[in-house]
Amino acid sequence: MRLSRLFAPTLREDPAEAEAPSHRLLLRAGFIRQVAAGIYTTLPLGLRIVRRIEAIVREEMDASGAQEIRMPITLPAEPWKATGRWQLYGDLLFRLTDRHGRELLLGPTQEEVVTPLVAGELPSYRDLPVNLYQIEWKYRDEFRPRYGLLRGREFLMKDAYSFDRDVENMRGSYQLMFDAYRRVFDRCGLRYVIVEADPGQIGGGVNHEFMARAEVGEDLFVECENGDYLADTEAATPRPPEPADRSDLAPLEVLDTPGTPTIEALASLLAIPEERTLKCILFEAGGATLAVLVPGDREVNEPKLERLFFPTPVRRFEDEDFARHGFVKGYVGPQGLAGDAVVLADHSVLGGKDWVTGANEADRHVSGANAGRDFRVDRFEDLARIREGDRCPVDGGVLRIGRSIVVGHIYQLGTKYSEPLEATFIDEDGGARPYEMGCYGIGISRIVAAAAEQHHDDAGLVWPKALAPFQAVVILANHDDERARTEAERIYEELRQLGVEALLDDREVRGGVKFADSDLIGYPVQVVVGKKGVATGTADLKLRSTGERSSAPLAQVAQAALDLLGAAP
């Protein structure tokens, strides 16, 4: 390909709307252009990256026995009502109505399509297992699209769905995907971690997230300093602290604490650290009142709480709830709670004593409150949001929080979709059973962004060769020098003969522009053919990843470039 003919509009300046490095560089280097919030056109260079990722994904999926299909994006609402997701997904769904008034949606994933498909066509246990996948656009009307390709409203995803006759076989299918995913992300050159993740509100099965490390990542994970524990922050369970020594407890006293409805104000007034206070957060679950206790400097992990009571919905007290139940917001304490309230405490509460907490009347707190003596705890559970410095549940090491981009997520679904959709097969014993399903997603367009986040420097992108849009660029440094032009053409042809996907920068612009663009676009190897070099019979090479330069005789440049490519990451 000749750059003079390639639609690759680079920008000299940073686009104002882009903040994240991947977003900024993908725009600047001419890989994508924005059409609307979270919706992008992929330009030739960007599409070449997408194609490479797709090829890797297809190879590994096919090698695992999965079969590619293509399902529609425009979907009827009925199956989504059957599984409850028409309601559950709420505003996240792009909905439309056709001319006859029928309700449709743009698919955010395709369980509701693939499950009836398989149910209709594979009625026997003899037909199983089967794993069907596709690479297709997905639509989610995100609250807040951001960071370019990282959180789009339209994005390219590989989604696969496995169908098995029983749980054991389903786990086997899951493991195949787990292994395939590792190969995919390894080949894409991503630095990533695999964590067991939050199963989500619908609860249930095992699932793993493949998280590419990145500064701008929206998903947090925790890892032990000793490398023996990894988890999603919402699923992480830290080691509880040593119980406090309770041999010498302070008496319970009531304190006047005017104007201190927040922990911050209270700690400030009493001149005590926030962790000496006890936070008592009220929730309502199925008509019952829940009081959740955490140390004042911690937050309640509401997803964990919800999971504890699933499927009963849990919601935080609103202002009118406080009034109705006779609580004073900002001054709630666990002592003297009615017997019908369930008192839950995070394990970290064990590590403290003589708490300062609400007195259940306005502008009053108590000090010296102790579990068992002054208030009861019905259950100790893991309910506090984890934070940096908490202890590893495996070896007690210090936990750190990392940021990441979720590039893959695999789930053991079980019969979550097959049951409501009445997707059954006839088992060996003649009985009808719902399929045991798994689903497996890879964010293709997200990998483009994640790779860009991980592989860039001040000058631009630095693609690993497995993803690079072209493996090498031949830069004609002096476009009006005939000999240089002839040599550049020849070297470009020779590279192609050697099987290198090369690009010839034959544009009629100054060398400096070409060098800057080459660094910006991020080809792994640059070959510079110019007047000076040609006069002495040489051309120059540069490895983008290290900036290392070398030169080689014109006759050997192509081979030298190939060798250099071999050394490129």
x-marked contacts with RNA along 198-237 as a string, rule CB under 7 A: --xx-------x--------xx--------------x---
Give the side-chain half-sphere CA count within 13 A for 510.
3
Interface segment toward RNA; rule CB under 7 A; list 262-270, 277-285, 420-428, 476-484: 476-484
The HSE-up count of residue 308 (CA atoms within 13 Å, CB side) is 22
Residues 321-380 contacting RNA, CB under 7 A = none
Using CB under 7 A as the binding rule, the residues of this chain from 8 to 37 that contact RNA are 10-20, 23, 28, 34, 36-37
Virtual CA dihedral for 470, 475, 480, 483, nearest 10 degrees?
A: -100
529 binds RNA (CB under 7 A): yes
* Residue 166: CB minimum distance to RNA, A: 26
Measured between alpha carbons, how far is 497 from 490 in angstroms, rounded to an integer? Answer: 10
How many chain residues interact with RNA (CB under 7 A)?
72
> In whole angstroms, how far apart are CA 132 and each of 170, 173, 181, 438?
14, 12, 15, 11
Say which DSSP state 21 is in: H
Using the rule CB under 7 A, which residue among 250, 288, 513, 567 binds RNA?
A: 513
**Nearest distance from residue 198's CB to RNA, in Å?**
8
Work out which of 98, 510, 537, 567 binds RNA, going by CB under 7 A: 510
In three-state secondary structure terms, 249 is: coil
CB of 16 to RNA, least distance (A): 3
* Residues from 407 through 446 that contact RNA (CB under 7 A): 409, 441, 443, 446
DSSP assigned state of 480: T
Nearer to RNA, 52 or 140 (CB): 140
User: 4 or 74: whose CB is closer to RNA?
Assistant: 4
| DSSP label at residue 508 | S
Alpha-carbon distances, residue 35 vs 32, 42, 46 (angstroms): 10, 10, 15
Q: Give the nearer residue to RNA in terms of CB position, either 357 or 518.
A: 518
Nearer CB in complex with RNA: 366/527 = 527
Q: Which part of the chain contacts RNA (CB under 7 A), choosing from 169-177, 364-372, 376-384, 510-518?
A: 510-518
- By C-beta, is 88 or 567 nearer to RNA? 88
Shortest Cβ distance from residue 313 to RNA (Å)? 12
Minimum Å gap between C-beta 561 and RNA is: 14
Pick the binder of RNA from 515, 560, 562, 569 (CB under 7 A).
515
> Does 456 help bind RNA (rule: CB under 7 A)?
no
In the complex, least distance from residue 17 CB atom to RNA, rounded to whole angstroms: 4
x/- track of binding to RNA for residues 141-180 (CB under 7 A): -xxxxxx--xxx--x-x-----------------------
CB of 414 to RNA, least distance (A): 17
User: Which tokens go with 226?
Assistant: 């000793």
- Of 50, 188, 267, 534, which one interacts with RNA (CB under 7 A)? 534
Amino acid, res. 244 = A
Report the residue number, 168 or 508, with the smaller CB distance to RNA: 508
When the beta carbons of 238 and 533 are compared against RNA, the nearer one is: 533
* Residue among 172 and 204 whose Cβ is closer to RNA: 204
State in angstroms the smallest separation of the CB of 301 from RNA. 6
Residues numbered 59-118 forming contacts with RNA, rule: CB under 7 A: 92
At its nearest, how many Å lie between RNA and the CB of residue 10? 5
- Taking 3-state DSSP, the helix, strand and coil percentages for the chain, each rounded to the nearest 5, stand at 30, 30, 40
Instruction: Kindly give, in sequence order, each residue whose CB lies less than 8 Å from that of residue 349, ignoring residues fewer than 6 positions away.
Output: 278, 293, 294, 295, 371, 377, 380
Using CB under 7 A, which of 413, 540, 552, 558 touches RNA? 540
Under 8 Å between Cβ of 451 and 190: yes
Q: Which residue has the tokens 């679904």?
A: 413
SS (H, E, C) 333-383: CCCCCCCCCEEEEEHHHHHCCCEEEECCCCCEEEEEECECCCECCCEEECC
**Which lies closer to RNA via its Cβ, residue 165 or residue 446?**
446
Q: Backbone phi, then psi, for 25, in 5-degree steps?
A: -75, -35
User: Which lies closer to RNA via its Cβ, residue 66 or residue 528?
Assistant: 528
Q: Which of 77-85, 135-143, 323-331, 461-469 is the region at the interface with RNA (rule: CB under 7 A)?
A: 135-143
- Are residues 478 and 507 in contact, defined by beta-carbon separation less than 8 angstroms? no
Closer by beta carbon to RNA, 234 or else 506: 234
Interacting residues with RNA between 294 and 313 (CB under 7 A): 301-303
Closest to RNA by CB, 175 or 536: 536
Shortest separation between residue 529's beta carbon and RNA, angstroms: 6
Interface residue with RNA, options 418, 503, 517, 561 (CB under 7 A): 517
Q: Which residues pair with 211 in a beta bridge?
A: 193, 406
Residue 386 to residues 267, 280, 380, 470: CA-CA distances in angstroms?
Answer: 22, 18, 16, 43
CB of 147 to RNA, least distance (A): 5
Q: What is the largest CA-CA distance in the chain?
A: 94
Binding mask 234-273 for RNA (x = CB under 7 A): x---------------------------------------
Smallest CA-to-CA distance from 36 within 153, 144, 206 is with 153
d(CA 226, CA 395): 8
Tokens of 99: 């001319």
Instruction: Please state the separation of Cα 353 from the chain's center in Å.
Output: 39
136 near RNA, rule: CB under 7 A: no
Write out the H or E segment, with its range, that includes residue 326.
none
Secondary structure, 3-state, 189-242: CCCEEEEECCCCCCCCCCEEEEEEECCCCCEEEEEECCCCCEEECCCCCCCCCC
Least spacing, CB of residue 535 vs RNA, in Å: 8
